[in-house]
Structure 1
Amino acid sequence: MIKVLIVEDDPMVAQLNKRYVECINGFQVIAIACNGEDALRYVKSSTIDLIILDIYMPKMDGVSFLKELRKRSIKIDVILVTAAREAENIDEVLKLGAVDYLIKPFEFERLKHSLDNYLLRHQLLNNKNQIEQEDIDRITNKQEKNSSYPLKKGLHKNTLESIRNFVRNNRKQAVTSEEVAERIGVSRVTARRYLEYLVSIQEVKLEIEYGSTGRPGHLYRDIHG
């Protein structure tokens, strides 16, 4: 479970961000701080994996807070969620190691995309002794060639992302449409339609399993599995 600290001075926005984050599997909001000083005190005494950080705050703003984190060699990942649009701020926090930057107002799907990518990065870097080039490409967003494919009529983006992430997270083993359907909460026919789409855009490979009797089974595996 990814432990999250939200640093946001607007209580309503902080609660909204908390609900957003906890809608996504794998994340738990541990605390909310209303400024950088409070957040700094909290991270010194608690285990945090990820900070959702605003820039415009009293006492200590987000940029100053991030600088202080790095000055103290506190290695916590940070995603900026803020109304700040100044190129200077954006450039500075990216150089300080922010893993993403979301400008308010944003759609939930944009935050979900950011957190899904972060979860994949966290799992790869913490669960493997050696990293392959494909892993690096995936977590640094270098492998975006398939994002330009138009979504096939009748498919929904949210369902597609859920199935795509399930296959990726089980990349060392092939999965069946039945397993995907049960995990995602869709029918087997629906799961197979999405899996076949992922095969068609070369994100997933199809393996045929021939048994002694009956029809051959279809297995699906991440293309880099």
Structure 2
Amino acid sequence: MAKVIIVEDDPMVSRIHQQYIEQFSELTLAGNFRSGRDALEFLRLHPVDLIILDVYMPVMTGLDLLRALRHEGQRCDVIMVTAANDVENIDAALSLGILDYLVKPFEYQRFSAAIEKYLKKANLISSRRTLTQDSIDRLVSTHSPGGSELSEAKKGIQSRTLEHVREHLMASDQVAHTCDSISSAIGLSKVTVRRYLNYLIECGELDSSIDYETGGRPSVLYYFKHR
């Protein structure tokens, strides 16, 4: 599993990040830090695969942490999640090789899309030594919502599989569904199912909410907006 840390000085926001990360069985949370300096000290001894990083923090900002990591040769992926929406900060983050940039407040499906982008990249990089042009195009493509056939292809959405997911949701007696239950029922991986569910949310067909009364990890519930 990929190791992830959260670097966020707001405890409430940090808890939300953690709950979202726990929805992905491919990820494991290795640490949760309130300042860039604490995170840097940890990372020097315990490198990770992915950082969820804020910009505005005391002692050491997120960008200063990222500069220090790049200077020391750490190439971990970074998803910025911050209220900083000015061009200067965004340009600086992009120049330091971040994977994605989310502006607060954001919805779960946008956070999920960023994680899916990381998982897609990690899978492509780890599964082969060379890449085709198509694989490179998918690797460097950015998140861009849309419903056209072209955007479906770019997101890896296949019409037949999409219809299979729709048919299962419509045939089920359940009002709300989890990614795990759909994955088990139709024989697709959770990563694949989550991609199709997020696509249906972008298209306005589904909505989602988080169930905190599971007795364990919170669970994301998916349901039709109109049924």
Alignment TM-score, normalising by the size of structure 2: 0.65
Return the alpha-carbon distance in structure 1 between the equivalents of residues 146 and 123 of structure 2. 22
Return the alpha-carbon distance in structure 2 between the equivalents of residues 45 and 102 of structure 1. 28
1:5 alignment partner, SS class: strand
Structure 1 residues 1-225: aligned runs within 5 Å: 1-141=1-141, 147-149=147-149, 184-186=183-185
Return the alpha-carbon distance in structure 2 between the equivalents of residues 142 and 102 of structure 1. 12
Unaligned runs of 5+ in 1: 152-158, 165-180, 195-225
Q: 1:106 to 1:144 in 2, by over 3 A?
A: closer
Contact 1:137–1:143 at 8 Å: present in 2 too? no
CA displacement at 1:129 relative to structure 2: 1.6
AA matched with 2:22:
E
AA matched with 2:114:
S
Contact 2:113–2:143 at 8 Å: present in 1 too? no
2:57 alignment partner, SS class: coil
1:80 alignment partner, SS class: strand
Q: 1:47 to 1:72 in 2, by over 3 A?
A: closer
CA displacement at 1:143 relative to structure 2: 10
CA displacement at 1:145 relative to structure 2: 10
CA displacement at 1:15 relative to structure 2: 1.2
CA displacement at 1:73 relative to structure 2: 1.3
Q: Deviations over 1:43-91 (max 9, x none)?
A: 1111300000000100001111111111111111111001111110000
2:3 alignment partner, SS class: strand
CA displacement at 1:147 relative to structure 2: 4.5
Same amino acid, percent of matched pairs = 38
Contact 1:53–1:62 at 8 Å: present in 2 too? yes
CA displacement at 1:133 relative to structure 2: 1.1
Q: Which has the higher Rg, Structure 1 or Structure 2? A: 1
Return the alpha-carbon distance in structure 2 between the equivalents of residues 33 and 18 of structure 1. 12
Q: Deviations over 1:183-218 (max 9, x none)?
A: 713458xx9xx8xxxxxxxxxxxxxxxxxxxxxxxx
Return the alpha-carbon distance in structure 1 between the equivalents of residues 58 and 143 of structure 2. 39
**Could you say which structure has the greater relative contact order, defined with CA pairs below 8 angstroms and 6 or more residues apart?**
2
RMSD over equivalenced CA pairs, Å: 3.0
Segments of 4+ moved more than 6 angstroms: 142-146
Unaligned runs of 5+ in 2: 152-156, 163-179, 188-192, 197-227
AA matched with 1:23:
Q
Contact 2:82–2:102 at 8 Å: present in 1 too? yes
Q: 1:74 to 1:117 in 2, by over 3 A?
A: same
Alignment TM-score, normalising by the size of structure 1: 0.66
Q: 1:63 to 1:47 in 2, by over 3 A?
A: closer
Contact 2:35–2:61 at 8 Å: present in 1 too? yes
